[in-house]
Chain A
Amino acid sequence: MAQLDEYVEAEIQRLLTENGAVAEQGITLQRRDHLLVLGGEVESAQRRDEICRQITTRFPEVEIACDIGIVRAAAPSEVEEIS
């Protein structure tokens, strides 16, 4: 089990932004005892899966739990009057 310290967390955070296959700035990381919980929302299931793949490839000993959602894209049902 890799040490899930602040340096690993920072490295993963930068990986998710700077890696061209991901380029996500809105993913949250929460360290548990032996688990890294990923949060936030992305635009497609492929992007969510690529995030997990990149982390697993770079840090094969880090166990991750993926709570990343796909942002809904339905039409609105309400209008807000601005005053």
Chain B
Amino acid sequence: MIRIAAVGDVHVDKDVLGRYRPALEQLPDVADVLLIAGDLTRHGTVDEAQCMAQEFGGLGVPVIVVLGNHDHQSDQELQVMDVLRDAGMTVLEGEGTVLTLNGHRLGVAGAKGFGGGFAGACASSFGEREMKNFVGTTEAIADKLGAALRGLECDALVALTHYAPVPETLTGEPLEIYPFLGSYLLGQAIDSAPTALALHGHAHHGSERGRTPGGVPVRNVAHPVIKQAYNVYQLLSEETGAGLVHA
């Protein structure tokens, strides 16, 4: 059994310090790892990254994160990643990592992702250079995510992104902005490997549950969607997680 705690879009700054901490102190009792699906900060500054490291660091369980679009706002994403890594977090951008938890190998591949939309209403690499760059950015990220997923040897494989890989978990958002919230290319990357669970954030007004065309469960863990400090998902089940009841 592996228990994965997950949340996204925590947007930490000084005014949030201490809000998550009481729930995070309980996290090692109910989960083996914490995955955070991007938008860790408000503006992607080093100061905010330090707040993030303070609030979500030193938990007693591994913390794996991807960045979100907010974390790129100040063009300091490399420094932000350095702060988070110095605090002991694993930051994934087109890469994967394997943890051994309870005797099982958990593989996590992560990337921020990007937009472009979904089948029937997706952007194409055609016309203006700006449009080709937009679609090309998503293609490159999705290619790296897919390669990272396929390259992991593990017992349970999880994909972690900020942008959405499927439209189902966007239900509640205006249809007009779906192309800015995710891309089918991310779903295709997730389906190219034996992924057990895909986690994302970004869509604050979206829905929690969906599945990729290939059948992989998708969960939108954006904080305003889950409305608690983190959700807990159980993989490779043999027994229910201690202290929690089944949803």
Contacts and interface: CB of A to CB of B under 8 A. Distances in A.
Nearest to A18: B73
Contacts of A79: 3, 30, 232-234, 240-241, 244-247
Interface stretch (A4-12, A30-38, A39-47, A57-65): A39-47
A47 to B, nearest CB: 7
A71 B26 contact: no
A72 B19 CA distance: 9
Contacts of B224: 26, 40-41, 71
B70 A23 contact: yes
B247 A78 contact: yes
B244 A77 contact: yes
A80 to B, nearest CB: 4
Contacts of B112: none
B229 A76 contact: yes
Interface in B225-242: 227-235, 237, 240-241
B23 A43 contact: no
Given A43-B11, A79-B3, A80-B247, A74 B228 contact: yes
A79 to B, nearest CB: 4
A26 B231 CA distance: 20
A72 B205 contact: no
Nearest to B196: A82
B59 to A, nearest CB: 13
A28 interface: yes
Contacts of B20: 73
A80 B237 CA distance: 10
B162 interface: no
B23 A74 contact: yes
Contacts of B234: 79-82
Given A44-B19, A82-B197, A28 B205 contact: yes
A23 B45 CA distance: 13
Contacts of A81: 233-234, 237, 240, 246
A79 B205 CA distance: 22
Contacts of A28: 205
A76 B244 contact: yes
Given A74-B23, A75-B23, A23 B43 contact: yes
Contacts of A20: 43
Interface of B: 3, 10-13, 15-16, 19-20, 22-23, 26-27, 30, 42-43, 70, 73, 196-197, 204-205, 217, 223-224, 227-235, 237, 240-241, 244-247
Interface of A: 20, 23, 25-26, 28, 40-41, 43-44, 46-47, 71-83
27 contacts: A23-B73, A26-B205, A28-B205, A40-B224, A43-B15, A43-B19, A47-B15, A72-B228, A73-B19, A73-B23, A73-B229, A74-B23, A75-B26, A75-B30, A76-B229, A76-B230, A78-B232, A78-B247, A79-B3, A79-B233, A79-B240, A79-B246, A79-B247, A80-B232, A80-B247, A82-B196, A82-B233
